[in-house]
């Protein structure tokens, strides 16, 4: 029975195979192709879009307080003195002389080892007491080794200490630290359109405008000297233990200035001029005035004068009239102060950080400064900075050879940079490095004069129609106001 089933299975297999072979020969003879099974395209898996940049701006960098672990060795006539000396050295290794080791809190910490034997100094109880009494100046302490006395009778201590350290903002390390001194003046008040303005108020308002403008340039670390009481109150909270111990590293971190700006107001007035008319009781009133300021920029370390100049300006005049038109003295004063601040800041910036072209795309450029350094819509001269020249006798740098390059028209001004476009290019710009083009003075007035000069010949060449004789005696279209009482 089993043999019969096997025979039937083999016969069926050979029959199916023969049928397939026969069908293949038939398709080949008739040219019919065997259908190919359809391939279904599988769509690719969707790719997740890259995470979008966070629209939230980064927090301002005001520095941070951390801890630095150091090893220090000390030597003393006793084991306690050696440990004290090692702790002093560890504090100086991290913070230098910025940390006041003479403070009452550190005095107690640096004398804890007195009266203790070698075994007590090596114990964990002493290490915990050091951290507790340091109030955040030392966040970790351990005595690695304590040997002695040697042949001279001295002990050697090797300690490991974690000391609090304040790290200032990284960006401020490359900025020039400047202090703006209070402006000086000789008079108690300044005349301003028929009334007097206290000189102290004008000087303080002007100083605040200079502080704000210099800060907005992003080129200076402007140090404050007015809020001493408020700052001292905050630091007292740290030293007295009212603030977290980790804040102790902020003590003793006050910066000193690299340069100091000193200014004096020599003139600041907007005078009222009045003349009594002879034929009536009316007055002929006019207004005019201006300002004058001297400034110096002094190197604090060497007391060398880096910049010294006198600046002057005029306020808009009001023509003589009997119509009794008054002026807003406060508004005139603010305008004069704004002009003075702009001139002063421009002088400081151009002397310390010249404005340069840092990026160029065709004729579109980005300048390295904004704020008060340039004004929107202004046209400035750009100079190409060539080879630096030196005095053969003193070897002092005389500056770089300058060549006129082009002009830039400022389209947009931000507190830290400006955008504009180049015009009247006089030299190839390809291959110039960032900073090779420096900003020079305004050229708006010169351009306007050149435009008028060029237009004059055209106007002269254009024939003018003959005017009738009667027209010669005609009054102008807009006649000035006449005063029949003068």
Secondary structure of the chain in HEC code, one letter for each residue: CHHHHHHHHHHHHHHHHHHHHHHHHHHHHHCCCCCCCCCCCCCCCCCCCCCCCCCCCCCCCCCEEEEEEEEEEEEECCHHHHHHHHHHHHHHHHHCCCCCCCCHHHHHHCCCCCCCCHHHHHCHHHHHHHHHHHCCCEEEEEEEEEECCCCCCCEEEEEEEEEEEEECCCHHHHCEEEEECCCEECCCEEEECCEEEEHHHHHHHHHHHHHHHHHHHCCEEECCCCCHHHHHHHHHHHHCCCCCHHHHHHCCCCCCCCEEEEEEEEEEEEEEEEEECCCCCCEEEEEEEEEEEEEEEEECCCCCEEEEEEEEEECCCEEEECCCCCCCHHHHHHHHHHHHHHHHHHHHHHHHCCCEEEEEECCEEEECCCCCCCCCCCEEEEEEEEEEEECCCCCCEEEEEEEEEEEEEEEEECCCCEEEEEECCCCCCCCCCCCCEEEEEECHHHHHHHHHHHHHHHHHHCCCCCCCHHHHHCCCCCCCCCCCCC
307-331 mean pLDDT: 83
Q: Comparing C-alpha atoms, which of 153, 144, 138 is closest to residue 122?
A: 144
Q: Which pLDDT score, from 0 to 100, does residue 117 have?
A: 87
- Residue 369's pLDDT band (cuts 50, 70, 90): confident
Burial class (CB in 10 A: 0-12, 13-18, 19+), 191: middle
Q: Is the pLDDT of residue 35 over 70?
A: no
Q: Comparing C-alpha atoms, which of 123, 141, 122 is closest to residue 133?
A: 141
Q: Is the pLDDT of residue 197 over 50?
A: yes
Segment 137-169, tens digit of pLDDT: 788 899 999 998 888 889 999 999 998 887 777
Q: Which pLDDT score, from 0 to 100, does residue 207 have?
A: 94
Q: How far apart are CA 467 and CA 154, in angstroms?
A: 114
227-250 mean pLDDT: 72
Percent of the chain with pLDDT over 90: 29
Q: Lowest-pLDDT range, 133-142, 180-189, 254-263?
A: 133-142
253-276 mean pLDDT: 89
Q: Is the pLDDT of residue 472 over 70?
A: no
> What domains are there in the chain, each with its CATH number?
64-167 (3.30.1660), 174-349 (3.30.160.180), 354-449 (2.40.10.410)
Q: Is the pLDDT of residue 340 over 80?
A: yes
Between 243 and 298, where is the model more confident? 298
Q: Which pLDDT score, from 0 to 100, does residue 130 have?
A: 87
Q: How far apart are CA 159 and CA 83, in angstroms?
A: 8
Between 398 and 261, where is the model more confident? 261
Q: Which pLDDT score, from 0 to 100, does residue 325 have?
A: 63
Which residue in this structure is represented by tokens 């909270």?
237
Structure tokens belonging to residue 420: 């504009």
Q: Which pLDDT score, from 0 to 100, does residue 27 have?
A: 52
Q: Is the pLDDT of residue 464 over 60?
A: no
- Mean predicted lDDT score pLDDT of the chain: 77
Q: Is the pLDDT of residue 354 over 80?
A: yes
Between 280 and 340, where is the model more confident? 340
Q: pTM score, two decimals? A: 0.60
Q: How far apart are CA 416 and CA 367, in angstroms?
A: 9
37-46 mean pLDDT: 51
- Cα-only R_g, the chain: 42
Q: Is the pLDDT of residue 436 over 80?
A: yes
Between 276 and 121, where is the model more confident? 121
Count how many residues are written for the chain: 486
Segment 75-134, tens digit of pLDDT: 999 988 999 899 888 888 887 765 555 555 566 677 788 888 888 888 889 888 888 887
Find how far residue 312's CA is from the centre of its chain: 28
């Amino acid at each position: 029975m089993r043999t019969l089933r096997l025979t039937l299975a083999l016969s069926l297999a050979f029959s199916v195979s023969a049928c397939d072979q026969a069908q293949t020969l038939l398709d080949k003879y008739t040219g019919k192709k065997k259908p190919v099974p359809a391939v279904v395209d599988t769509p690719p898996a969707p790719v997740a879009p890259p995470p979008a940049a966070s629209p939230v701006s980064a927090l301002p960098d005001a520095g941070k307080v951390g801890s630095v672990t150091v090893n220090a060795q000390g030597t003393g006539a006793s084991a306690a003195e050696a440990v004290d000396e090692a702790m002093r050295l560890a504090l100086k290794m991290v913070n230098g002389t910025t940390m006041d080791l003479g403070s009452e809190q550190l005095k107690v910490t640096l004398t804890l080892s007195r009266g203790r034997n070698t075994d007590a100094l090596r114990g964990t109880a002493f290490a915990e007491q050091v951290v507790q009494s340091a109030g955040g100046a030392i966040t970790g302490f351990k005595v690695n080794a304590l040997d002695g006395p040697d042949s001279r009778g001295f002990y050697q201590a090797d300690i490991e200490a974690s000391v609090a350290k304040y790290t200032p903002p990284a960006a401020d390390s490359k900025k020039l630290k400047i202090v703006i001194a209070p402006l000086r003046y000789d008079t108690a008040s300044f005349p301003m359109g028929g009334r007097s303005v206290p000189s102290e108020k004008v000087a303080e308002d002007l100083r605040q405008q200079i502080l704000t403008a210099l800060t907005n340039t992003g080129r200076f670390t402007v140090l404050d000297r007015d809020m001493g009481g408020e700052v001292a109150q905050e630091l007292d909270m740290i030293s007295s233990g009212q603030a977290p111990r980790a804040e102790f590293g902020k003590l003793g971190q006050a910066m000193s200035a690299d340069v100091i700006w000193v200014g004096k107001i020599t003139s600041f007035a907007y005078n009222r001029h009045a003349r009594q008319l002879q034929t009536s009781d009316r007055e002929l009133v006019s207004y005019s005035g201006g300002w004058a300021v001297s400034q110096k920029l002094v190197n604090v370390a060497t007391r060398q004068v880096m910049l010294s100049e006198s600046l002057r300006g005029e306020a808009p005049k009001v023509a003589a009239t009997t119509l009794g038109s008054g002026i807003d003295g406060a508004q005139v004063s603010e305008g004069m102060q704004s002009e003075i601040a702009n001139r002063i800041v421009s002088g400081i910036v151009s002397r310390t950080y010249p404005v340069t072209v840092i990026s160029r795309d065709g004729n579109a450029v980005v300048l390295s400064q904004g704020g008060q350094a340039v004004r929107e819509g202004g046209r400035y001269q750009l100079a190409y900075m060539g080879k630096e020249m030196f005095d053969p006798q003193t070897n002092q740098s005389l500056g770089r050879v300058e060549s006129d390059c082009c002009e830039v028209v400022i389209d947009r001004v931000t507190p830290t940079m400006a955008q504009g476009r180049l015009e009247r290019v006089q030299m190839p710009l390809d291959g110039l490095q960032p900073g090779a083009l420096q900003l020079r003075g305004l050229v708006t007035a010169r351009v306007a004069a050149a435009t008028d000069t060029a237009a004059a010949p055209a106007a002269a060449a254009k024939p003018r129609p003959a005017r009738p004789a009667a027209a010669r005696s005609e009054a102008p279209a807009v006649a000035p106001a006449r005063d029949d009482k003068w």
